[in-house]
Structure 1
Amino acid sequence: MLDSTPRKILVGVTGDQDIRAALAFAAGEARRRGTGVHLVHAVHPVHMAPDGATVTVEDHAVRKLGRKALADASLALEHELGEDLPVSTELVRGTAPHVLVDIAQHACLVVLQHQRMGKPMLVPSLSTTNPVAALSPVPVVAVPAEWAETADRRGVTVGVDDPDRSREIVRAALEEARRRGTSVRLLHAWHYSTAYDDLVFEGDAGRRHEAEQAEGLTAGLEAMLARYRDVQTEVVVVHARAADALVDESHRAALLVVGRHRHAIPLGPHLGSVARATLRHATCPVLVVDPVRAATQQPAVATSTTSVGSGGGS
């Protein structure tokens, strides 16, 4: 079990996919935060045969593959981070979402590589990223498989709805921008009706409406922004659906920050349609934040996973 101070960055390691983009992002974030990285691979030894019969894969072989994946990822990270920032590994029995959400209670951030991000023609399938982003007690970053940090992508963009509901999300964006030494775009997208928006808000009426919304957002977030005077901020109001506006921003931003839905009922993950669409189509890393500070939350999922091996220490 991961238990360290300061809390490490948790990275999910798959056994059959290249996760170099996630490792590169985690390494950069570890340097910015001055903390180590904990790599976790979840072992689920039971698979279904094509005819529906249960096939139990040899436990030793599965664990061997998992340990190799962890060793390869650890070697790559240690090369990037050197000796000052520790890298640890853990092999855990259980389904990947449950394992990661459980261990995230002891981490500061979860980083996952989302193989389908930015690939509109790829058929959707079961995802680890979505349930972890919906249930994690700490923020989660989904990194597109093709992502590479470049000098022309420096800014952080945060999706802002209502100022009262968005304070924690904005705070997370400001913290990320401060660590990166860059600016923040506070993006608010408005859309009421496809049939009537262009008629009702045409010309000066539309410009007045957007100016009023920008003033309201600035006033509502004034106290928060005052605590981050060292971070340059820009309030941007656009006429578009929120998910469309955020995905468009992903082509220019170094990081998108979005909020997930609060858990009004205890059953099922409540990621939210905007966060889900952004995770599906964005071409830059997406940071998903709970609208309530994670430190005040109870663990989202209780699991009974059993550790089947570890290496590297905590």
Structure 2
Amino acid sequence: MRWDKMSEDNSNVEDRRASGGSGGRGGKLSLAGIAIVVVIGLLMGKNPVEILGMVMQSSNNGAPTQQAGPVNTATDNDQVKSQAVKTLTDTQDTWHAIFQQSGQSYQEPKMVLFRNRVDTACGNATSAVGPFYCPADSKVYLDLGFFDEMHKKLGAPGDFAQAYVIAHEVGHHIQNLTGISSQVHQKQQQLSKAKGNALSVRLELQADCYAGVWGHYAAKKGLLEAGDLEEALTAANAIGDDTLQRNAGHSVMPDSFTHGTSEQRMKWFKRGMDSGDAGQCDTFNTTI
């Protein structure tokens, strides 16, 4: 990407990396706190039980284990932080314009950078959860070390692949603003686990499409370079439910999918990328 052509607005960024995840409240979660985490797990398309397990472990253990020295991962540095902030800034510019076209006002999300674990309005979480969006505080949470995992373990390197991840989480913010997330959650309460998972897939694919919409306008502004689209598609392919299950040595179980197949994730990102039209991202009333 042409980072030299992008602006950097730190006003919506909270850098909590210096704390290393310390300062947790400790203690047990209240019933209300547990309920919030379960809701957020469903909205994130992740297994609420898995998230609760990590949250409870973090709460019971108090402050997380600290590393002996500063984290020196390849992507946990000022350059990658700058790129993450510039990505967030550019998504803000894009969605402000799109919302304005429909006579609406866009409310910007914030991005929190952290290491190891973090306290959120949705409960405590660890880096194991991966990047996520919390609708309770309208914040995207990101441990920059995740980009190392994308490169080394998922085979999805590249700066535009990293930007796609952030734009996807901003896509969940769009769903929160438009009420789609809450509608999906309400429906999931009335469905079986398999059918609830199917709704989560549609939610995640729509966020992929919204990420593609941002990519479309980034390309129009001359921010993309040769190979950037391929980086994003490689990342979308790597994090498809079917690919992740195969690579983990498991049988592919479609009823357990929460994010969509590799083919679906690439398809919907590219639909947004090609069209630049958020109206083309209705994954709930079409065959996915």
User: Quick check: TM above 0.5?
Assistant: no
Structure with greater helix share of residues: 2
More contact order relative to length (CA 8 Å, sep ≥ 6) = 1
> Normalising to structure 2: TM-score of the pair?
0.30
Task: Determine which structure has more spread, i.e. the larger CA radius of gyration.
Answer: 1
> Normalising to structure 1: TM-score of the pair?
0.28
